[in-house]
Amino acid sequence: MALDKNGIAQRIAQELQDGYYVNLGIGIPTLVANYIPEGMEVTLQSENGLLGIGPFPEKGKADPDLINAGKQTVTALKGASFFDSATSFAMIRGGHVDLTVLGAFEVSENGDIASWKIPGKLVKGMGGAMDLVASAKNIIVATTHTNRKGESKLLRKCTLPLTGVACVKRIITDLAVLDIVEKGFKLIERAPGVSTEEIKHATEGILIIDGEIPEMKF
């Protein structure tokens, strides 16, 4: 069965390693913070100027001067630091952040990503997404495999305005884990109970199925 948002986040959390500095985008990526394995130290970076994001504050204790990049009130963990936006993006652009997880409207089989603009729809702006995808050492896209209309988000070529080119390394969807390789989307894992056929059906870009594909383990 296809994973829900939390399932996707939980699977992504398996990609974390002890000592990682990680930037989690808005939406599903934010949920990854709830699944950091016990005993593992992962430091979350927020591009508005915080290293060491803590949990949401208790009711009544929200500090208007302490928000994350999604403008939600948060807390700061022990060992946190605050800094200006230029320093924050120095961390990102300079390759100091080990992993970036972000959502997408579309990903193409060569690793292009479209995530910020839908022509004719609400203009929001790219925020920090273009900086993140252009510079992160490792980028994982967290997304549903298809959009609300049931159309594949894993395409031969992106149709929407791009956020970055040839930058995505891995995609974790409600159906599968896939890596961007030279010739397309390489299927790595299936969501529990989801068949290779279903994934193939939901993937417009070239899907590489090499041997037996294991199920995700939780």
Partner 1 sequence: MNKVVKNAEEAIQGVKSGMTLMLGGFGLCGIPENSLKALAASGIKNLICISNNAGIDDFGLGVLLRDHQLKKMIASYVGENKEFERQFLSGELEVELNPQGTLAERIRAGGAGIPAFFVPAGYGTEVAEGKEVREFNGKMHLLETALTADFAFVKAKYGDYSGNLIYNNTANNFNNMMASAGKITIAEVEELVPTGELDPNQIHTPGIFVQRIFQGTNYEKRIEFETVS
Write out the catalytic residue numbers. Answer: 47
Residue 211 lies near partner 1 (rule: CB under 8 A): no
* Site mask for partner 1 (CB under 8 A), range 136-175, x = bound: -------------------------xxxxxx---------
Distance CA(116)–CA(122), nearest Å, equals 10
CB of 122 to partner 1, least distance (A): 6
Find the part of the chain contacting partner 1 (CB under 8 A) among 130-138, 141-149, 190-198, 203-211: 130-138
Residue 17 within binding range of partner 1, rule CB under 8 A: no
The residue from 38, 39, 59, 212 that contacts partner 1 (CB under 8 A) is: 59
Query: Which of the stretches 80-88, 173-181, 182-190, 206-214 binds partner 1 when contact is defined by CB under 8 A?
Result: 80-88
Residues 174-193 that bind partner 1 (CB under 8 A): none
Half-sphere exposure in the Cβ direction for 124 (13 Å, CA): 13
Q: Which is nearer to partner 1, 74 or 194 (CB)?
A: 74
13 touches 35 (CB < 8 A): yes
- Min separation Cβ 144 and partner 1, Å: 20
CA distances from 61 to 58, 66, 76, 77, 163 (A): 5, 11, 13, 15, 36
Q: How far is the CB of 78 from partner 1 (least distance, A)?
A: 3
Distance CA 41, CA 45 (A): 13
Q: Which of 12, 31, 102, 112 binds partner 1 (CB under 8 A)?
A: 112
Using CB under 8 A as the binding rule, whether residue 96 contacts partner 1 is answered as: yes
Q: By CB under 8 A, is residue 72 in contact with partner 1?
A: yes
The answer for residues whose C-beta is within 8 angstroms of residue 193's C-beta and 6 or more apart is 1, 215
Task: Rule CB under 8 A: say whether 115 interacts with partner 1.
Answer: no
Query: Shortest approach of partner 1 to residue 128 CB, angstroms?
Result: 4
Do residues 161 and 119 make contact, with C-beta atoms less than 8 angstroms apart?
Answer: yes
At 6, is the secondary structure helix, strand, or coil? helix
CA distance 213 to 206: 16
Decide if residue 65 touches partner 1 (CB under 8 A): yes
In whole angstroms, what is the distance from residue 28 CA to residue 94 CA? 25
Q: Identify which of residues 12 and 114 has a Cβ nearer to partner 1 in the complex.
A: 114
Helix H or strand E segment including 133: helix 129-135
φ, ψ of residue 173 to 5 degrees: the values are -115, -175
